[in-house]
A = this chain, B = another copy of it.
Amino acid sequence: MPLDIPDVVIDRLPVYYRLLCDLHATGIAVVSSQELGDALGITPAQIRKDLSYFGRFGKQGRGYAVARLTEELRQILGLDRRWRVVLIGVGRLGTAIASYRGFDPQGFDIVAIYDANPEAVGTQLGGLTVHPAELLARDLDERPADIGIVAVPADAAQDVIDTLVRAGVHAILNYAPIAAHVPPHVQVRQIDPVLALQGMTYHLRRYGADASSRA
């Protein structure tokens, strides 16, 4: 497998995978890059280029075999196994995360939940008991996890992330509004609605200016 695939390409693969799963479930056997592009708002050329990093999936003019491409992406993305996830933080957001039903069908098992607040510790959430945050490092030492989901306040987040990294967790989903510092071998994805909104206001502003300049 090639090693230097841009992160923007990797981050589009789950989007392709989800659509292909839907197509497969509805009995569609073959799909063109044009049809994939129309469904996703991505140009067919970009889709063909993205997928070409991983080999020759499509035949010129014949489209992609949905079942085969789905299975290939499943293996490429490492979704042909289950992943152990720990969740830290059970405020409103952490509670919503613990209750989210989308993780399990995709192979992500939340195996332990932590919080620093003594009132939260011992409560039940998604079938699990909330543990004290100070046990995180010890627990990970005994029962390693693959992924940490960080849903603590901003001022506590880097400490939690440091603990996860020291305990060998190499993938962190960070909901705290901070730019996490991690070593190069650790993956971080930031879930931050404000950053997403700010990426759109740039375009809104341009659109607004265009609209008034037409007036």
In A188-209, which residues have CB < 8 Å from any B CB? Answer: 188-189, 191, 193-208
The minimal Cβ–Cβ distance linking A105 to chain B, given in whole angstroms, is: 9
- How many copies, total? 2
The minimal Cβ–Cβ distance linking A53 to chain B, given in whole angstroms, is: 11
Question: Taking the complex as formed, is A52 at the interface, i.e. its CB lies under 8 A from any CB of chain B?
Answer: no
State whether B83 touches A195 (Cβ < 8 A): no
Q: Which residues of B contact A198 (CB under 8 A)?
A: 13-14, 17, 77, 79, 106
* Chief secondary structure at chain A's binding surface: helix
The minimal Cβ–Cβ distance linking A41 to chain B, given in whole angstroms, is: 7
In the complex formed, the residue of B with least CB distance to A94 is B96
In the complex formed, the residue of B with least CB distance to A151 is B96
In A3-44, which residues have CB < 8 Å from any B CB? Answer: 3, 7-8, 10-11, 13-15, 17-19, 39-41
In A84-120, which residues have CB < 8 Å from any B CB? Answer: 85, 92-93, 95-97, 99-100, 102-103, 106, 108
